């Protein structure tokens, strides 16, 4: 019989089968922290874009934290600082911005209607890219919009 203490120790001693990469990756992705999209985003980054690894910034609204809502959304200052740090430390040269339909940040926090959501997401990806270029001009920035169709998530490129 396994004791509760033994079971807890086993949980604390979990060992990942994924190998640890010692070097830094020169790319990063900024996306919404909505857990419904995490697996699909990681699959897109690994298989759709062919990235072996990348730094991540997952925050409510994702790229919206750089889209000029600073007065209402105080996280921009921290996100800018975090991006500068990652860019300097890991010598980033590529940044992937991903927004998704059905984002609670837009519906709840910004009160954007479903009718205007897709246009707003695309516009905000461009606004975020402009802001990021002010902070880190050398980054190559790509934008994507994750859209749901049934049980599938599709990633559309957005010109930023």
Average pLDDT per 10 consecutive residues for the chain, totaling 160 residues: 56 85 91 96 97 93 87 75 94 97 91 90 96 94 97 97
Domain-embedded: residue 151: yes
**pTM of the model as a whole:** 0.88
Domain-embedded: residue 37: yes
| pLDDT score at 1 | 54
CATH number of the domain to which 69 belongs: 3.40.1050.10
Dist. CA 127–CA 35, nearest whole Å: 24
Domain-embedded: residue 140: yes
| pLDDT score at 132 | 96
Number of domains within the chain: 1
| pLDDT score at 140 | 97
Domain-embedded: residue 122: yes
Range of the domain at 109: 25-158
| pLDDT score at 75 | 76
| pLDDT score at 2 | 55
Domain-embedded: residue 15: no
Count, in order, helices (H) and strands (E) of the chain. Answer: 5, 5
Dist. CA 148–CA 151, nearest whole Å: 7
Dist. CA 60–CA 64, nearest whole Å: 8
Domain-embedded: residue 35: yes
Domain-embedded: residue 17: no
């Amino acid at each position: 019989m396994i004791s509760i203490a033994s079971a807890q120790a086993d949980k604390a001693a979990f060992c990942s089968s994924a190998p640890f990469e010692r070097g830094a990756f020169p790319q990063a992705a900024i996306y919404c922290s909505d857990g419904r999209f995490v697996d699909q985003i990681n699959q897109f980054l690994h298989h759709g874009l062919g990235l072996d690894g990348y730094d991540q910034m997952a925050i409510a609204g994702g790229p919206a934290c750089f889209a000029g809502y600073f007065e209402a959304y105080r996280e921009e200052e921290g996100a800018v600082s975090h991006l500068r740090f990652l860019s300097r430390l890991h010598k980033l040269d590529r940044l992937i911005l991903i927004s998704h339909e059905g984002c609670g940040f837009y519906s709840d926090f910004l009160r954007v209607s479903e009718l205007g959501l897709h246009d707003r997401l695309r516009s905000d990806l461009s606004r975020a890219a402009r802001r990021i270029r002010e902070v880190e001009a050398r980054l190559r920035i790509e934008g994507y919009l994750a859209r749901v169709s049934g049980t599938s998530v599709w990633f559309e490129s957005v010109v930023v």
